[in-house]
Amino acid sequence: MYKVKFIYNPFSGEKTIASDLDRVIMTHQKYDHIIVPHRMCYENPISNAFFDIDKSYRYILIAGGDGTVDNVVNEMKKRNIDLPIAIIPSGTANDFANYLGMPQDVEEACDQILKSKVKKIDIGKINHKYFLNVASTGLFTDISQKMDVNLKNTIGKLAYYVKGIEQLPNFRKLKIKVDSDEVSFDGDMYLMLVFNGQTAGNLKFAYKAKVDDGLLDVIIIKAGTMKNILNVFIKMLRSEHLENVDGIIYFKTDKLEIECFEDIVTDIDGERGPDFPLLIECEKGGISILGAKI
């Protein structure tokens, strides 16, 4: 009989995961697995979740949004814990879980995980931190960090758009320098996204991204006229192909360096990222996962 460490964020999304705990336990018991829960909170740091990890554990089950998953992965990397992870999407932003094809229903998600085989996937690394879905910088990237938690949990994705509208008066060109073997860019931009997954806000920007190719998909929206930038954003919102589009640089790479002297922050799946300069790399096969349908 295997044990499964279940790390859940009771404050994620609509805060329903706590009421689903019995279904998580019941489904795992059907497969002769024992759930060992860890409730995330300020008083009980995530590092406490791993004190008993040994060979009796089969995998780490995570319930939360993209930021919760990143926090768990970073702690695992710090402790050299080489166990597969699995994700129950329960946060406001579940882009990576959706990309993996994880069902929203808790019981269905657990069944899919328990019937699956382990798959090696890539992870991104930005300076000293890891991310699974997307790292970004430029306009709008600090929206989730400025968001009132109650607002975000109450109206979900709509909250991001409300906050985005508030930032329109700050629309300005940002000087940035990007170097990689494939592309170099030294100029003005509005927004830069570096994807390991494919979507942000459930919009498929990095439609060519694959999570097991050892490469990250980079999108730079260059500064330009308001007419051009509106056309670019319309294409992005419609999930249209972004290659060979005027005003956009789209390329794949396994490593890039970024310098910026503007007063802007970086974002990793909704959480504050490192300060500039940045070294962003793809760690091919950097983590194992269960339940993925990709």
Domain range annotation of the chain = 2-116, 129-285
Q: Which residues contact 149 (CB under 8 A, 6 or more apart)?
A: 11
Secondary-structure class of domain 2-116 per CATH: alpha beta
- pTM (predicted TM-score): 0.88
Q: What percent of the chain has pLDDT over 90?
A: 64
Quote the pLDDT of residue 16.
Answer: 79
What mean pLDDT is reported for the chain? 87
Mean pLDDT of 67-76: 96
Mean pLDDT of 53-65: 96
pLDDT tens-digit profile of 245-275?
Answer: 778 899 999 999 999 988 889 999 988 999 9
**Residue of higher predicted confidence among 43 and 287:** 287
Q: Is the pLDDT of residue 159 over 50?
A: no
Mean pLDDT of 207-216: 95
- CATH number for the domain running over 129-285: 2.60.200.40
